[in-house]
Amino acid sequence: MAVFNGSHISFSFSQLGSAFGEHVTPTALENGRLFTYNAEVAKQLGLNESELTSEAFRAILSAEQPLAGRTPFAMKYTGHQFGQYNPALGDGRGVLLGEWRDADGTLWDWHLKGAGKTPYSRHGDGRAVLRSTLREYLASAAMTGLNIPTTQALAMAISDTPVMRERIETAATLLRVTESHVRFGHFEYLFYSQQHEALGTLADYVIARHFPELAEAEKPYAALLQEIVERTADMIAQWQAIGFNHGVMNTDNMSILGQTFDYGPYAFLDDFDPGYICNHSDYSGRYAFNQQPAIALWNLSALGYAFTPLVDKDVINDILGGFEHRLQVAYSRAMRDKLGLSDAQPSDSDLFNQLFALLEGNQTDYTCFFYQLSQYRGDALLTAGTLNQFKSICQDTQALTEWLSAYQQRVHTLDDSTRLACMQRTNPKYILRNYLAQAAIEAAEKGDLQPTHDLMTVLAHPFDEHPSLAHLANPPTDDNKGLALSCSS
């Protein structure tokens, strides 16, 4: 099909040379078939339904055919995993297929995850299972709907290829698209392997392709590091405000664009639990929800170290020193929006601390609380009806009443409609809860895609009401809480 060939497809990364990875031939899925695709993402790329349901696209997605005749490329990177440097990483089961230019001129990497073994597979089989692939597919849409920077998932294929994990599962592929697949670990690899010329080449490539305005800066490499620090701070602020726990914040899972990257055992908080650890393989809680800001800085410091051949050490330290302030400003802004506070007042930190204590003490569902709060005008906050509505998610009525009074006082000078409008575009009704993802996976494994489609509908517009799908806003029952999630994928 002509659209999968042509001059809008290029492959600049693969032309950087052998220091950056290796050309590979993927291993096709057995009986690979299109499972689902994201029509919104397709539209961004300029693809329509008939193209996505074509034989040509099925063959690309099933790793049978390359994109535009270009040999796929496995990227080399390393990184710090749980604090330890691992030199043996790289695209072990995913390959870059090429770069796709959309109608606006934006270049999108096409990356096929689960396409078979590569030189970096180590002992792995090069495959991804339906379960983990669908989790990434759903999370990419969820984050997009929440306006949080993320990679996108264009489509998924399923197959008859058996894959051994804790049990036998079937292999799937995910076609991930984003402007860059460069991770912190790409820079770490070239630094630790002392390929410092190539390190400069990578920085030049990233600037030219993603941040051309930085080429004009007095010190472009320092400006690049600064940009990555700022984007990462902004992204983490949004994770903390929405209640997202990534789970595996290794430096090879950190994007230089500040996008949420590599979805593994992630979770959105149900009950507000600051120390929540979604990854059951994370025994020390290194990647717990409330550790994410500190870990992001740790990861940026690892990146900063890899920048030492390019940027003066003092400058690097100054740039890293700006992270905390940037994050704090972005986080405060995001949290004030959640409460509809258009201005900042010194007493706000007390209001927030009391709120966090209330939510934690009552194991209150984080998303439900803010959604509910965004439904009431100031004068209705303390009525019996309102308190009754909160009862199912917050048992301590006295503490709740105290906090709502303080909040009522705080907002009584603000315009109610403006406050509620702000809150209603900030506090989603729908969030990708693990029990919902799990239900979609179990149905999908039996060939039923309806739960996936329903979830995608609400996740694409999580601030809307969707009355016929309102059950998808329910917090988990006690049985559905705390589903075990491992790194196995």
- For 121-173, the DSSP string reads -TTS-S-EEHHHHHHHHHHHHHHHHTT--B-EEEEEEEEEEEEESSSEEEEEE
Task: Report the partner that residue 80 touches, choosing among ligand AMP, Mg ion, none (CB closer than 5 to 8 A by kind).
Answer: none
90 binds ligand AMP (CB under 6 A): yes
The residues facing 37 across adjacent strands are 155
What are residue 242's DSSP bridge partners?
Answer: none
* By the rule CB under 6 A, 26 interacts with ligand AMP: no
Helix 384-391 with 366-373: angle, nearest 10 deg:
160
> Among ligand AMP, Mg ion, none, what binds residue 91 when CB lies within 5 to 8 Å by partner kind?
ligand AMP
Task: Name which of residues 98 to 127 contact ligand AMP (CB under 6 A).
Answer: 120-121, 124-127
Contacts of 148 (CB under 8 A, 6+ apart): 235, 238, 239, 242, 244, 260
Residue 279 interacts with, from Mg ion, ligand AMP, none (CB under 5-8 Å by kind)? none
Answer for which of 253, 255, 372, 386 binds Mg ion (CB under 5 A) is 253
Residue 454 per-residue DSSP state: H
Minimal distance, residue 159 CB to ligand AMP, in Å:
14
State the virtual CA torsion across 275, 145, 257, 126 in degrees, nearest 10. 80
- Nearer of residues 150 and 362 to ligand AMP, judged by Cβ: 150
SS3 280: coil
Q: Could you give the 3-state DSSP secondary structure of residue 305? A: helix
Beta carbon nearer to ligand AMP, 87 or 361: 87
Question: Up-side HSE of residue 194: CA atoms within 13 Å toward CB?
Answer: 0
In whole angstroms, give the CA distance from residue 258 to residue 241.
16
The response to whether 200 counts as a known ligand-binding position is: no
Burial of 181 per CB tally in 10 Å (0-12, 13-18, 19+) = buried
Interface with ligand AMP, residue 76, by CB under 6 A: no
Look at residue 124 and give the partner it binds from Mg ion, ligand AMP, none, a contact being a CB closer than 5 to 8 Å depending on partner kind: ligand AMP
Which of Mg ion, ligand AMP, none sits in contact with 131, Cβ below 5 to 8 A by type?
none
Rank residues 124 and 322 by Cβ distance to Mg ion and give the closer one. Answer: 124
Count CA atoms closer than 13 A to 54's CA, side-chain side.
14
Q: Is 176 annotated as a binding residue?
A: yes
Spatial neighbors of 309 by CB under 8 A, at least 6 apart, are 191, 196, 199, 200
Q: State the nearest-atom distance from the C-beta of 74 to ligand AMP, in Å.
A: 9
183 is in an annotated binding site: yes
Q: Report whether 466 contacts 458 (CB < 8 A).
A: yes
Q: Which residue's C-beta sits nearest to ligand AMP?
A: 124
CA angle 48, 54, 56 (to 5 degrees): 115
93 labelled ligand-binding: yes
> What are the beta bridge partners of residue 244?
268
User: For Mg ion, which is the closer residue by CB, 122 or 453?
Assistant: 122
Q: Which of residues 239-298 bind ligand AMP (CB under 6 A)?
A: 253, 262, 264
The region, left, alpha or beta by phi > 0 then psi within -120 to 50, assigned to residue 223 is alpha
Cα–Cα distances in angstroms (integers) from residue 213 to residues 100, 206, 216, 223, 256, in the given order: 22, 11, 6, 10, 16
CB closer to Mg ion, 253 vs 260? 253
Q: Work out whether 93 is an interface residue with ligand AMP (CB under 6 A).
A: yes
Tell the smallest beta-carbon distance from residue 24 to Mg ion (Å).
Answer: 17
Residue span 450-489 as binding mask against ligand AMP, x where in contact by CB under 6 A, dash where not: -------------------------------------x-x
Bridge partners (DSSP) of residue 100 are 9, 108
220's contact among ligand AMP, Mg ion, none, with CB below 5 to 8 A by partner kind, is: none
Taking CB under 5 A as the rule, does residue 22 contact Mg ion?
A: no
Q: What are the tokens at 443?
A: 């149905």
348 touches, from ligand AMP, Mg ion, none (C-beta below 5 to 8 Å by class): none
Catalytic option among 252, 270, 365, 454: 252
- Residues near Mg ion (CB under 5 A), total: 2
291 phi/psi in degrees, rounded to 5: -90, -10
Catalytic status, residue 252: yes
Footprint of Mg ion on 257-286 (CB under 5 A): 262
Which CB atom, from 87 or from 124, has the smaller least distance to ligand AMP?
124
- Binding-site residue numbers for Mg(2+) are 253, 262
- Binding-site residue numbers for ATP are 90, 92-93, 113, 125-126, 176, 183, 262
Which residues make up the interface to ligand AMP (CB under 6 A)? 89-93, 120-121, 124-127, 253, 262, 264, 487, 489
Residues carrying an active site annotation = 252
- Binding-site residue numbers are 90, 92-93, 113, 125-126, 176, 183, 253, 262
